[in-house]
Structure 1
Amino acid sequence: MALDPNLVGRTEGPWEQSWTADDALRYAVAVGAGQDDPVAELALSTENTTGVEQRALPTLGIVLAQFGGPQEIRLGDFDRALLVHAEQSLVLRRPLPVAGRMTLRRKVVDVFDKGKGALVVVETEGSDVDGPLLTTRSSVFIRGEGGFGGPRGASAGWSVPRGEPDEVLRFRTAVNQALLYRLTGDRNPLHSDPAFAARGGFDRPILHGLCTYGITCRLLVNAVCGGDPDGVAGMFGRFTRPVWPGEELVVSLWDAGDGNVLFRTANGAGDVVLDRGRFTARR
């Protein structure tokens, strides 16, 4: 098996990651802020608008924690084109600053045998001068690396809420959305290189799962938090289907009470692309 069998418990760090107000602006535009209406989300997309204080989207924290740093846990020797993002969570202890510096530590917390592939779960903790700031947990599925006899892992409890969604949000991605998003630091060639995408079984580059995740978060911030990203405490979603740049995203949400929202993101044809969604507003 090419996947390293001794991954669980492996750690990297600490290392430092800093970001600027320009990084926050770039990320917001990369996940569609201002794309439908250039004056609708100025707190995310500008830093010098009269009477508007800049804010950072919380999902920028995932990019800061998982990309661009000097540390990377080596999972083994396998074709990276066979690795896809499976699940992503984010927990914020307090609002993400527009600019700052944090110390990061990363750990492999689980490796599951899913038969046709392996699921590797990596957790990253970030702290700044004021203490713990965020935790991200990213699961990746590596096709062809299963069958090693490890635990399968329990399925998280989630079911589609009864009744029609309380609200439906729509956003059409741009045909160059992946090219914009890669400027945030996620340079996986699966989203830009046709030859690399073909090795993964795709006829053209697909949109980053984290771009779909970030777009969904932005739409939920507007719908649930009144446009204030500082109101977000956490988010979880499972990636179930690739998104092609240019496709419409449709987010259905159900209010579960106490600041909790369940959601699913589908493409324009109704195929779910981000499932089992949970979004938590700060109380």
Structure 2
Amino acid sequence: MPIDYAKLKSMQFEPIRHTYTRRDTMLYALGLGVGASDPTDAGDLKYVYEKSLVALPTQAVTLGVAPMLLAQPELGINFKLLLHAEQTLQIHKPLPIEGTVIGESSIDEIYDKGAAKGAILYMTRKLFDAGSGDLLSTLGNVAFLRGDGGFGGKSEGAPKPRAVPADHDADQAVPLTNMPNQALIYRLSGDYNPLHSDPEIAAVAGFERPILHGLCHYGMAGRALIRALCGDDPSRLLRLDTRFTSPVYPGEPLQVEIWNIAAGDASFRVVASERNAIVQDFGRCEYRL
């Protein structure tokens, strides 16, 4: 049964009220491998130690999320065949280290690539501070609905992300700390999909072992870009967009390759170096000078 385009577009989702603590902020950073290479590094300690704690901007991806939002039966989506394809983040104000936020989600558009090619669904989530009402961040989630093409919708007009430069090598490459147990820590920030922890579930999905959450290595790249481009000041990060292109296994070597495009604007991708596999592509990072 094809998805009902009109019903999806008109769906109204209840705002999600989410209270988080300093412990959650520190646990999120630990789930990205912060402090794993050098637990005395001052740049890392500020994300995991309450003495001078600040929140990583990418923690917003874990907040105000409606559980299994697209799995609701009335939406008609074949959730088992859904893939997280792209993630965007615009930062309007620094994320508090603790507090209560309101997440408001909406479906922006669905593009029909054909019965054999699936569909692409674009969603937006706005994250507000519950106390002040201030808009903290705007997040975009692009889902590849592999089993839901052919519903009769439009196929053209989807936003096209900016490709990394093809005419020259990256200006710098930064290794990422990827621990063997990283998925087991990161899942404690709210994504309990057993694909990332249960070897039997991973095998059924066609993987040799559990894979790392896409939003985990997205956050790892974000932390590296803050250090490389923002003078290790997270308040300078303004935008972080990426496309997920290949699975990542916990523990395998990763590096983020960075191209300087203009003042306050960089492109990036993430590579699993031993496999020479691009696992994130079309990355865009904007930051305050």
Instruction: Give the TM-score normalised by the residue count of structure 1.
Output: 0.91
Aligned runs of 1:204-219 on 2, under 5 Å?
Answer: 204-219=209-224
Indicate the residue corresponding to 2:12 in structure 1. 11
Q: Structure 2 regions of 5+ residues with no counterpart?
A: none
Give the Cα separation in 2 of the matches to 1:78 and 1:9. Answer: 15
Give the Cα separation in 2 of the matches to 1:16 and 1:65. Answer: 6
SS, match of residue 7 in structure 1? helix
Indicate the residue corresponding to 1:117 in structure 2. 118
Indicate the residue corresponding to 2:95 in structure 1. 96
SS, match of residue 126 in structure 2? strand
Indicate the residue corresponding to 2:127 in structure 1. 126
Deviations 1:180-239 (A, max 9, x none): 110000111221223333343323221110001000001111111121211111110000
Aligned runs of 1:1-283 on 2, under 5 Å?
Answer: 1=1, 3-5=3-5, 6-40=7-41, 41-48=44-51, 53-66=52-65, 69=66, 72-73=69-70, 74=72, 76-77=75-76, 80-115=79-114, 116-128=117-129, 129-153=132-156, 154=158, 156-161=160-165, 162-268=167-273, 269-283=275-289
Give the Cα separation in 1 of the matches to 2:155 and 2:197. Answer: 32
Give the Cα separation in 2 of the matches to 1:71 and 1:240. Answer: 22
Of all paired residues, the percent bearing the same amino acid is 39
Give the Cα separation in 1 of the matches to 2:109 and 2:89. Answer: 17
Give the Cα separation in 1 of the matches to 2:57 and 2:4. Answer: 32
1:164 to partner: Cα distance: 2.0
Q: Structure 1 regions of 5+ residues with no counterpart?
A: none
- Larger fraction in helix: 2
Give the Cα separation in 2 of the matches to 1:224 and 1:24. Answer: 22
1:24 to partner: Cα distance: 0.7
Give the Cα separation in 1 of the matches to 2:86 and 2:4. Answer: 21
Q: For the Cα contact (< 8 Å) 1:15–1:70, is it kept in 2?
A: no
Give the Cα separation in 1 of the matches to 2:9 and 2:241. Answer: 22
Give the Cα separation in 2 of the matches to 1:180 and 1:241. Answer: 21
Letter in 1 for 2:160: A
1:78 to partner: Cα distance: 5.4
Give the Cα separation in 2 of the matches to 1:184 and 1:168. Answer: 28
Q: For the Cα contact (< 8 Å) 1:172–1:247, is it kept in 2?
A: no
The alignment's C-alpha RMSD in Å is: 2.0
